[in-house]
Every structure is written in structure tokens, then in C-alpha cells.
């Protein structure tokens, strides 16, 4: 029994918010294997195929409007604590799809970027990827939850982060 339906918006890894556009077998998967076909919100040209038997790889459904509004308030009220998380912790935070934790990771990474800029450096490649992924995760979920564009979501996130 599958957990999700066509039309559902779900959080999937570093792709962020995706819509399930189809559920069924694929030409390359054989007739017995059923897949969720996901379209990422940030890039509708892309399609991700997740076997229904591995639906635990899908983090959860996208939060509703009320929860998204509460999350924005939580992001505004939260602050950067401690040092920049190590790589393993960053991976765990990104996979968690916890918008407040991911937003705090964005804060850390933007802070590192600002410090590096003062020293005429840029973010290293891994940190730049983490920042891109983290922004995509939070902005895409806010965009879907609040029925706004990615640009409006970006502005909202920037305002919430301060």
C-alpha cells in the first residue's frame, strides 16, 4: 500500500519540494516495479523516480500554510548557535527536511561566506553546495506551502534570516 498519491507535494532529499505527477511502472523498471515520478518545484524539467518500495526516501509531505507561517516565525526567532556543523551533521540536517534546522545551517554558511569575503576568499565547493541545497529545501517548501513564487520565497527567507 503506497503512502502518497498523485498530486501530493513531498520533500525529497536535496531536491526539496516535489510534486508526485505519476505512480506506475517505468519502461526501464519492469512491469512489477512501481515508481513515484517526482517533479521538483525549482526545476519542472527534471524528473526523479523513487520506487514505491523505497518510499521512506521521501521525507514527508510538504507542510501546510499555517505550519509554514509558524515556521517562518520560528526561523526569525531562532539564532545561530555553536560552530559550523561538520560535514556529516550537515548531511543529516539536509536529509531531515526540518526547515528551522536547515535555515540555521543557511545562517552558518552565509556567515562563513561573509567572513571569507572579508578575507578575499569564497566558500569552498562543499560548503557552496550545502548552501545551494539548504536554500532550495527551505525556499521550495515555503513556495509550495504559501502558494508563492520561488523569488517571493527567497525574499521571505532572507527577511526571516535577518
| Dist. CA 68–CA 72, nearest whole Å | 6
Residues 83-142 pLDDT 10s: 888 899 999 999 988 999 999 999 999 999 999 899 999 989 999 999 999 999 999 999
Report the number of distinct structural domains present in the chain.
2
119 domain residue, yes or no: yes
The residue range of the domain holding 22 is 9-61
Q: What is the arithmetic mean of pLDDT over 70-78? A: 93
Give the confidence band of 37 by pLDDT, cuts at 50, 70, 90. Answer: very high
CATH code for the domain of 119: 1.20.58.1290
Q: Are residues 81 and 123 in the same domain?
A: yes
Residues 40 and 107 in one domain: no
Domain CATH number, residue 51: 2.40.10
Tell me if 137 is assigned to some domain.
Answer: yes
| Reported pTM | 0.88
Amino acid at each position: 500500500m503506497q503512502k502518497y498519491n498523485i498530486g501530493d507535494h513531498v520533500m525529497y532529499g536535496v531536491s526539496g519540494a516535489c510534486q508526485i505527477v505519476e505512480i506506475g511502472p517505468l519502461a526501464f523498471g519492469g512491469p512489477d516495479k512501481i515508481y513515484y515520478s517526482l517533479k521538483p518545484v525549482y526545476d519542472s524539467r527534471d524528473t526523479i523516480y523513487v520506487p514505491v518500495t523505497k518510499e521512506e526516501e521521501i521525507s514527508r509531505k510538504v507542510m501546510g500554510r499555517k505550519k509554514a507561517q509558524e515556521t517562518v516565525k520560528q526561523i526569525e526567532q531562532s539564532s545561530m548557535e555553536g560552530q559550523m556543523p561538520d560535514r556529516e551533521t550537515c548531511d543529516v540536517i539536509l536529509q531531515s527536511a526540518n526547515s528551522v534546522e536547515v535555515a540555521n545551517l543557511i545562517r552558518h554558511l552565509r556567515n562563513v561566506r561573509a567572513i571569507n569575503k572579508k578575507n578575499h576568499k569564497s566558500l569552498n565547493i562543499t560548503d557552496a553546495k550545502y548552501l545551494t541545497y539548504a536554500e532550495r529545501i527551505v525556499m521550495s517548501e515555503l513556495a509550495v506551502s504559501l502558494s508563492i513564487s520561488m523569488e517571493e520565497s527567497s525574499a521571505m527567507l532572507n527577511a526571516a534570516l535577518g
